């Protein structure tokens, strides 16, 4: 489904991001994964290599636009085009507001929102030049109805939805589609780190009776990245087993 496409996936070393990388490779894309540390990037690359998938990796500071701009230029020079950007890097939060420092809130917004701005700003000139491109953002089920604690996370994901819908309208004349996927509770290490008293009541509200698997989410990204979704833009696609309030 992605033969001949070049895709960049941030937060691509574990969980949903790693599964997106794997799924894109299974569909014949060239994939460049971004991670937060050299060690995690190398570990992911080696794991994928053992599975028969060859990918390239970087570990930039996503809050540093100049650093991002330089790497994006390098990638374009290597491959000649950049077709798909998946903004997946992010961190969650579960503290009550009175226990959350302003620095913690700022760090969440930096990675979950500012990094998307930086990555998108860096790739758009290349996509505009080729008059084609797909930008996909990872949102969340909590972007629709919030969560009982950890206000920074849903706040950041509401912002992701705003970026997605606004950029879809701005970039549509250049044939650049912008969509988001809003996963429900998914079987990743991020969810595993959350307290059981937060997760278990939510699972009981899922009509399909289970939490999602990374592959469930990756398949949604695959569809939106492919030409099968050529007339879809500005959409926040819920992939949550109908777990809506």
pLDDT at 201: 82
Question: Which H, E and C letters describe the chain, residue by residue?
Answer: CCCCCEEEEECCCCHHHHHHHHHHHHCCCEEEEECCCHHHHHHHHHHHHHCCCCCEEECCCCCCHHHHHHHHHHHHHHHCCCCEEEECCCCCCCCCHHHCCHHHHHHHHHHHHHHHHHHHHHHHHHHHHHCCEEEEEECCCHHHHCCCCCCHHHHHHHHHHHHHHHHHHHHHHHCEEEEEEEECCECCHHHHCCCHHHHHHHHCCCCCCCCECHHHHHHHHHHHHCHHHCCCCCCEEEECCCCCC
Tens-place pLDDT, residues 155-165 = 999 999 999 99
Q: How confident is the model at residue 190 (pLDDT cuts 50, 70, 90)?
A: low
pTM above 0.95, yes or no: no
pLDDT at 137: 98
Of 36, 12, 34, 15, the closest CA to residue 24 belongs to 12
Average pLDDT in the chain: 94
126 carries an active-site annotation? no
By mean pLDDT, which of 9-13, 83-87, 96-100 is the weakest? 96-100
Residue 93 has pLDDT above 60, yes or no: yes
By mean pLDDT, which of 150-154, 158-162, 177-181, 225-229 is the weakest? 150-154
Domains of the chain with bracketed CATH: 6-237 (3.40.50.720)
pLDDT at 180: 98
The arithmetic mean of pLDDT across residues 53-73, rounded, is 97
Tens-place pLDDT, residues 195-244 = 778 778 878 889 998 889 999 999 999 999 999 999 999 999 999 998 86
Catalytic residue, from 58, 59, 126, 153: name it.
Answer: 153
Residue 245 has pLDDT above 60, yes or no: no
pLDDT at 244: 64
């Amino acid at each position: 489904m992605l033969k001949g496409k070049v895709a960049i996936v941030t937060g691509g070393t574990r969980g949903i991001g790693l599964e997106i990388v794997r799924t894109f490779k299974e569909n014949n894309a060239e994939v460049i994964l971004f991670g937060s540390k050299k060690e995690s990037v190398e570990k992911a690359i080696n794991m994928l290599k053992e599975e028969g998938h060859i990918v390239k990796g970087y570990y930039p500071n996503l809050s540093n636009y100049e650093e991002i701009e330089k790497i994006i230029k390098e990638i374009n020079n290597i491959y000649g085009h950049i077709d798909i950007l998946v903004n997946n890097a992010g961190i969650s939060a579960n503290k009550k507001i009175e226990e959350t420092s302003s620095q913690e809130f700022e760090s969440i917004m930096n990675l979950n929102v500012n990094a998307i701005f930086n990555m998108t700003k860096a790739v758009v000139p290349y996509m505009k030049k080729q008059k084609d491109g797909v930008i996909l953002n990872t949102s969340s089920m909590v972007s629709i109805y919030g969560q009982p604690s950890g206000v920074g996370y849903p706040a950041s994901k509401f912002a992701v939805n705003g970026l997605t819908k606004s950029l879809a309208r701005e970039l549509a004349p250049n044939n650049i589609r912008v969509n988001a996927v809003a996963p429900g509770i998914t079987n990743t290490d991020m969810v595993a780190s959350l307290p059981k008293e937060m997760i278990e009541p939510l699972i009981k509200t899922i009509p399909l009776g289970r939490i999602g698997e990374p592959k469930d989410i990756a398949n949604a990204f695959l569809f939106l990245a492919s030409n099968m979704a050529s007339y879809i833009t500005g959409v926040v696609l819920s992939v949550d087993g109908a777990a809506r309030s």
